[in-house]
Amino acid sequence: MKARFTLSVNGEGREMVVAVHKTLLEVLREDLDLTGTKHGCELGECGTCTVLLDGEPALSCLVLPVECQGREVTTIEGMAVDGRLHPLQQAFAELGAAQCGYCIPGILLTARALLAENPTPTRDEVRHALAGNLCRCTGYTKILEAVELAALRMQAGDGAAAAVAPREARA
Partner 1 sequence: MSEKERFSVVGKSLPKIDAWAKVTGQTRFADDMTLPRMAHGKLLRSPHAHARIVRIDTTRARSLPGVYAVITGRDLPPVKFGILPVSQDEEALCVEKVRMVGDAVAPVAAVDEETAERAAEMIEVEYEPLRALMSIEDSLAHPEVRIHEYGDGPNVHKAVSLQFGDVEAALAGAHLVREDVFFFEGNTHLPMEQHSAVAHWGPDDKLTLWSSTQTPHYVHRLLGKILDVPQAHIRVIAAPVGGGFGGKLDPFAHEIAACKLSQLTGRPVKITLTREEVFYVHRGRHPVLMWIRTGFARDGAITGMHFRSWLDGGAYGSYGVASTFYTGALQTVTYKIPAYKFEGARVFTNKPPCGPKRGHGTPQPRFAMECQIDKAAEQLGLDPADMRRRNLAEPFTKTANHLTVTTIGLGECIDRVVEASGWREKRASLPPGRGIGIACSSYLTGAGTAIYWNDMPHSGVVVRADRSGGVSVLCGATDIGQGSDSILAYLAAEVLGIEPKDIRVHAADTDLTPVDLGSYSSRVTLMAGQAVIQAAERLRARIFEAVARKLEAPASALVGRDRRVFVADDPERGVSFPDAVVLGESMHGVLAVPGSYAPPKRAGKYKGGGVGPSPCYSYTACVVEVTVDRETGEVRPTEVWIAHDVGRALNPLLVEGQVEGSVYMGLGEVLMEEQVFRKGVHKIPSLLEYKSPTTLETPEIHTILVETDDPEGPFGAKEAGQGPLLPIIPAVVNAIHDAVGVRLDEIPVSPDKVLKGLELARQGKPARVGPERLPLLTFPAPRAVESAFGQPAENIAERPFST
Give the residue, chosen from 11, 69, 128, 161, that forms a contact with partner 1 under the rule CB under 8 A: 128
- CA 150 to chain centroid: 15
The span from the CA of 101 to the CA of 99, in Å, is 5
Residue type at 18?
Answer: V
User: Is residue 92 a contact point for partner 1 (CB under 8 A)?
Assistant: yes
The residues, any chain, with a CB within 8 Å of residue 14's CB and separated by 6 or more, are 6, 7, 8, 32
Beta bridge partners of 68: none
Contact indicator for 160, 82 with CB cutoff of 8 Å: no
Q: Which of residues 5-64 bind partner 1 (CB under 8 A)?
A: 29, 33, 35-43, 45-46, 48
Piece of the chain touching partner 1 by CB under 8 A; list 63-71, 112-120, 133-141, 154-162: 133-141
User: Is residue 134 a contact point for partner 1 (CB under 8 A)?
Assistant: yes
Q: Which of residues 61-90 bind partner 1 (CB under 8 A)?
A: 75-77, 79-80, 85, 89-90
The span from the CA of 9 to the CA of 100, in Å, is 26
Q: Where do contacts with partner 1 occur on this chain (CB under 8 A)?
A: 29, 33, 35-43, 45-46, 48, 75-77, 79-80, 85, 89-90, 92-96, 98-105, 108, 126-128, 130-144, 170-171
